[in-house]
Amino acid sequence: MKIGITCYPTYGGSGVVATELGIELAARGHEVHFISYAMPIRLNGASDRISYHEVEVTTYPLFDHAPYTLALATKMAEVAEEESLDVLHVHYAIPHSVSALLARMMAAPRALPFITTLHGTDITLVGNNRSYLPITRFAIEQSDGVTAISSYLRDRTVREFEIKRPIEVIPNFVNCDLYMRAPDQSPKARWTRNGEPLLMHLSNFRPVKRVTDVIEIFALIREKISVKLLMIGDGPDRGAAEYLVRKKRLSKDVFFLGKQDRVQELLGLADLFVLPSDAESFGLAALEAMACETPVLATNAGGLPEVVTHGVDGYLFEPRDVASAARFGLEILTRPDRGRAMGEMARANARRRYCSNDIVPMYEAYYEKVLRSTANAAQTAR
Ligand code: GMT
């Protein structure tokens, strides 16, 4: 198939999923065209079956806000025509599904079906805003196919947006051959001494991630044992987290690494991964850690209980309950045998339920289903 993919190319889970999907689809022989305003992170030079088409947004003094949605729609229609695309697959509903809808109309009478994958904040935060809700609902209903990355997100979308059309759950995935425990644990010595355990957090440091709670949890654990923390990623709340570290006099124990490309090499060194988000439709970073045999301490929020099994491959706690989180964390870190056993279960569960080898064929089958029903509908209309 010839597939056009649009996503936010910046540091966010939906962009990562879209990019990994494109890479996996290309490896399986499909031709993939990324259409976005910047090259997605993790994409550079991935495959010669992947092309990147940049959307240029022209500004004009009259425009307070450059109309990206329109420039994207135009680019989608152009690429579809020039590259004979079979299908467009947009990740994150706003505004991508609206652009795809316009592109489909521009391409007519040529068929250009589009699939929208819902990732989370497009529904739970942004889409729920009154100014976006009606158009998001409209574009979801108009999509030729809609998928959600967890049952939680599917159910919430149907309930809150009163969606009538079917939404298929195709969960996020991880490449289990790439994400695995580092056989050589020596790089850990860059941050730890004398076998100290290492905690890790990875996110885009947006308010919903509660990065200051990571520091609070770490501080409570640090009161009891000698331990270190790596904070990976960047975003609006990094400053608040760094300030809290200084205030709590933990600067020698906490390391902020900023954005990292090869996170699998770091996650495989951790003894515990911490994700205290207020909301999380899936929690891709938790899954990536699990594939690396790292047990997870996460909130009992959104889709996270679909990923982490409490007491088996990690622990779940109520959002903002940092005291319980620290207690669970200490249980793992003070009993390394228990931590290792949970880590092994984490990898086994990630492999069994969320390996790219099993999930990517679900997308292929879904594309084929959508293409078949579009072709049938066109035939009936003739
Ligand atoms: O979490 C974010 O701020 C980024 C956001 C995105 O769309 O880029 O992440 C969402 O999509 C990820 C990939 O499907 C999920 O793993 C995250 O759980 C989801 N974030 C939230 O629901 C807050």
Q: Are residues 46 and 190 in the same domain?
A: no
At 111 the pLDDT is 95
The reply to whether 179 falls in a domain is no
Give the DSSP letter of residue 56. Answer: P
Q: Are residues 58 and 16 in the same domain?
A: yes
**Residue 346 belongs to what domain range?**
186-354
At 126 the pLDDT is 76
For the chain, how many structural domains are there in total? 2
Q: Are residues 324 and 286 in the same domain?
A: yes
Residue 46: pLDDT band by 50, 70, 90 thresholds?
Answer: confident
CA of 219 from ligand 1 middle (Å) equals: 26
Q: Are residues 343 and 360 in the same domain?
A: no
Is there an atom of ligand 1 within 6 Å of 120 CB?
A: yes
Q: Are residues 209 and 297 in the same domain?
A: yes
* Interatomic CA distance for residues 209 and 192, integer angstroms: 25
Q: Are residues 235 and 340 in the same domain?
A: yes
Q: Are residues 131 and 162 in the same domain?
A: yes
Q: Are residues 62 and 139 in the same domain?
A: yes
Atom of ligand 1 nearest to the CA of 92: 7
CA of 126 from ligand 1 middle (Å) equals: 12
pLDDT of 316 strictly over 70: yes
Q: Are residues 146 and 9 in the same domain?
A: yes
Residue 380: pLDDT band by 50, 70, 90 thresholds?
Answer: confident
CA of 33 from ligand 1 middle (Å) equals: 22
Q: How many CB atoms within 10 Å of residue 63?
A: 10
The reply to whether 235 falls in a domain is yes
Helix (H, G, I), strand (E, B) or coil at 128: coil
Mutate to test the pocket of ligand 1, among 122, 152, 282, 308 (most ligand atoms within 8 A of CB): 282
Is there an atom of ligand 1 within 6 Å of 268 CB?
A: no
At 96 the pLDDT is 97
* Residues above pLDDT 70, as percent of the chain: 100
Average pLDDT over residues 303-327: 98
Average pLDDT over residues 107-112: 94
CA of 82 from ligand 1 middle (Å) equals: 32
* Residues above pLDDT 90, as percent of the chain: 87
Q: Considering Cα of 300, then 305, then 311, then 314, what sign does the dihedral take? A: negative
pLDDT of 114 strictly over 90: yes
Instruction: Report pLDDT digits (tens) over 198-211.
Output: 999 999 999 999 99
pLDDT of 268 strictly over 90: yes
Among 55-64, 103-112, 367-376, whose mean pLDDT is lowest? 55-64
Write phi, then psi, for 228 (nearest 5 degrees): -125, 160
CATH number at residue 225: 3.40.50.2000
Residue 322: pLDDT band by 50, 70, 90 thresholds?
Answer: very high
pLDDT of 11 strictly over 70: no
Atom of ligand 1 nearest to the CA of 279: 23
At 204 the pLDDT is 94
* Interatomic CA distance for residues 208 and 276, integer angstroms: 9
* Interatomic CA distance for residues 353 and 138, integer angstroms: 32
Residue 187: pLDDT band by 50, 70, 90 thresholds?
Answer: very high
Residue 382: pLDDT band by 50, 70, 90 thresholds?
Answer: confident
Helix (H, G, I), strand (E, B) or coil at 93: coil
